[in-house]
Structure 1
Amino acid sequence: MTTFRSGFACFVGRPNAGKSTLTNALVGDKIAITSSKPQTTRHAIRGLVHRDDAQLVLVDTPGLHKPRTVLGQRLNDLVRTTWSEVDTIGLCLPADECIGPGDRFLIREIAALRRKPVLAVATKTDLVSPSRLAEHLMAIQGAGDEAGLEWRDVVPVSAVAGDQVQLLADLLVATLPEGPPLYPEGRLTDEPEETLVAEVIREAALEGVRDELPHSLAVVVEEMLPREGRSPDRPLVDVRANVFVERDSQKGIIIGHRGERLREIGTASRAQIERILGTPVFLDLHVKVAKDWQRDPKQLRKLGF
């Protein structure tokens, strides 16, 4: 009889190391938002991988970074709490970047955990030549040796091209304890729909904005209710959400000339929200200023951090 395994694995790494793209590739659907902007991920999003022999719960964490705000510190705390609780850690090290001080710091921190399987995942292999990849894999091995960390495996993958994603899933599953499924079959995430909807809006708002703005953006779904008086064959869900920024000048950037930018955000996010909810949606977006919210513990609580 085949042994069934179930458990938790988390992807950690510096900001923009490809963790969310890899989580989506393994789950087989989009559950974590992705962007080229650093620190896009702000929650530990759980994605569920269902197999005949296992159920793998993947936790996608924010990028560990040098915090400059209360929010940054809280995101780092979230990463450390997550990796202390999971069965297995996958450390993402992008192949198109050299192993740097931030990576070595992470490797040393993880080495201190002991007795936990750690896989080194060389992400974004589609962006480099075979010789550059070989160099990168040797550098990963060397960095592990230096920190006294014995990698369970070193796996090169490309989530975008689908290269070795299945192999990575097999290697992660092999580290899990025996046990029954933890979630019902068919579910892709345990995130509340409101969280997923807010993240989709934030992803649309991140597209094409200047570098200082991504960190200042937060989205809160205030209301998500079926429209009253609609016949069952013509349902409509009213979604009211607030996009928070830290300064009036940023509010202008998000709204755009005559509201054009905000309409673009609404159009881009509505299609994805309708896919999540499985019903047509009326999206009502408002932009508000919450002054310096990243540094204010009281406002952070209000915004869900």
Structure 2
Amino acid sequence: MNHILKTAVVSVVGRPNVGKSTLTNKLVGQKVAIVSSKPQTTRTRITGVLNEGDTQYVFLDTPGLHKPRSRLGDYMCKVVTDTVSEVDLAALVVEPIANVGPAEETLIAQIKQHHMPAVLVINKIDTLRKEELLAVIAAYAAAHDFEAIIPVSARTGEGLSDLLSEFHKYALEGPQLFPDDMVSDQPERQLAAEIVREKMLRLLDREVPHGVAVGIERWNEREDGLIEIGANIYCEKSSHKGIIIGKQGAMLKEIGVQARADLEKMLDTRVFLELWVKVKENWRNNQYQMRNFGYEDQ
């Protein structure tokens, strides 16, 4: 058991698809945030927890900062900007490109406004030559006086020990925020819903996944250890419902097969998963529906 004496709360921010969730999962040591190649995978703030030595690290994985096109998009961007102001340290995650884009400029402005210590995390360094990093470092060093610039690969784990050592400098003495065995503040039902949504992000056409939400309607833990889960997949258009189900139900079956495998790994038991698909038109601009799916403050 760890004897926690310090905590460090770190906001992981950046534009979509820079690898924030992959980085959070890698630091925590297991999946607490879903990952896909599509932008805006993360919709709300997700907390990942790591206990190491006498320190508890709390990572706040945020949605990618983007130009919102719906009420849900507005909410996602608000989550990012609010989170920057309420932590010990901000970790700005960027791709290894020698140009500071508009989203990065906005986040740097937020960091400056709140006088927030910030570390620049240059991710995906496994995709370029080491000498190319110098131009990236120079571009960001000119944009802001970061506490440190740490090149990493969230995919391979390269540089993560250096990053954690930097985070440790901002740990403050204080009580433990989360129990020893807790790796996320998300309840199991919410994690299950997100795992189902992750499989849709990976398997479906680009325009469909952004219009889907998942609600867990049934969760029954049987005496023999089997967990029965029933989930509704909500989409915005009837045409999308057909795509999600697929020919003779093939796509929905594959979503279920892949989700069940991850759920059994997460829950460490056998899972029976049932999925249904329903249409809720334009739910991303409906405040009531968004609240039902957990995407807006109550």
Length-normalised TM-score, structure 2? 0.94
Secondary structure, counterpart of 1:162 in structure 2: coil
Distance of 1:183 and 1:108 partners within structure 2: 31
Does residue 141 of structure 2 align to residue 159 of structure 1?
no
Residue of structure 1 equivalent to 2:16 = 15
Which residue of 178, 187, 210 maps to 1:183? 178
Instruction: Report the 3-state secondary structure (helix = DSSP H, G, I; strand = E; otherwise coil) of the residue aligned with 1:250.
Output: helix
CA contact (8 A) 2:56 2:176 kept: yes
Q: Secondary structure at the match of 1:85?
A: coil
Name the counterpart of 1:37: 38
Letter of the aligned partner of 2:282 in structure 1?
D
In 1, Cα distance between equivalents of 2:107 and 2:174: 30
Greater Cα offset, 2-11 or 290-299? 2-11
Check conservation: 2:26, 2:154, Cα contact below 8 A.
Answer: yes
Amino acid at match of 1:193: E
What CA distance in whole angstroms lies between the structure 1 residues aligned with 2:250 and 2:285?
30
Equivalent AA in structure 2 for residue 187 of structure 1: M
1:267 and 2:262 are equivalent in the alignment: no
Looking at structure 1, the residues matched to 209 and 164 of structure 2 have their Cα atoms a distance apart, in angstroms, of: 31
Aligned to 1:72: 73
* 1:189-238 deviation digits (Å, cap 9, x = unpaired): 121001100010000111132221221111111111124xxxx4x32111
SS at match of 1:207: helix
Q: Quote the Cα distance in structure 1 between the aligned partners of 2:99 and 2:263.
A: 37
Equivalent residue number for residue 147 of structure 1: none
Report the Cα offset of residue 109 of structure 1.
2.1
Query: 1:6-60 deviations in whole A, cap 9, x for unaligned?
Result: 1311100001111000001111111111111000001211111111131000010
Fraction of identical pairs, as percent: 41
How far, CA to CA, are the matches of 1:84 and 1:107 in structure 2? Answer: 12
- Within-5 A mapping of 1:183-262: 183-227=178-222, 232=223, 234-262=224-252
CA distance in 2, matches of 1:269, 1:96: 34
CA distance in structure 1 between the partners assigned to 2:192 and 2:4 by the alignment: 37
**Cα offset for 1:96?**
4.7
- What is the rounded CA distance, in whole Å, between the counterparts of 1:203 and 1:235 in structure 2? 25
Describe the SS at the equivalent of 2:111: helix
Q: Is 1:124–2:124 an aligned residue pair?
A: yes
In structure 2, distance between residues paired with 1:14 and 1:224: 35
What letter corresponds to residue 102 of structure 2 in structure 1?
P
Do the aligned partners of residues 56 and 136 (structure 1) sit closer, same or farther apart at CA in structure 2, a change above 3 Å counting? Answer: same
Matches of 1:69 and 1:237 in 2, distance apart? 36
Give 1:111 deviation, angstroms: 1.1
Is there any run of 5+ residues in structure 2 with no aligned partner, and where?
none
CA displacement, residues 81-115 of structure 1 (integer Å, 9 cap, x when unaligned)? 2221111100011115732122112211221111x
The residue matched to 2:173 in structure 1 has which SS? coil
Q: Say if 2:212 and 2:235, in contact at 8 Å, map to a contact too.
A: yes
- Larger displacement relative to structure 2 (258-267 or 164-173): 164-173
**1:134 matched to which residue of 2?**
134
- The SS at the match of 1:34 is coil
Equivalent position of 1:27 in the other structure = 28
Q: Gaps spanning 5+ residues in structure 1: where?
A: 145-149
Greater mean deviation of Cα atoms: 255-264 or 127-136: 127-136
Conserved? CA contact 1:96–1:125, under 8 Å: no
CA distance in 1, matches of 2:37, 2:215: 22
Q: Residue 84 of structure 2 contacts residue 110 of structure 2 at CA under 8 Å; is this kept in 1? A: no
Query: Residue in 2 aligned with 1:295?
Result: 285
Partners of 1:96 and 1:128 within 8 A in 2: no
Q: Is the 1:5–1:177 contact (alpha carbons within 8 Å) kept by the matching residues of 2?
A: yes
Q: Is contact 2:4-2:176 (8 Å) kept?
A: no
Q: Is the 8 A contact 1:62 1:79 kept in 2?
A: yes
**TM-score (norm. length: structure 1):** 0.92
Give distance in 1, aligned partners of 2:90 and 2:138: 20
Letter aligned with residue 188 of structure 2: E
Number of aligned residue pairs: give it. Answer: 293
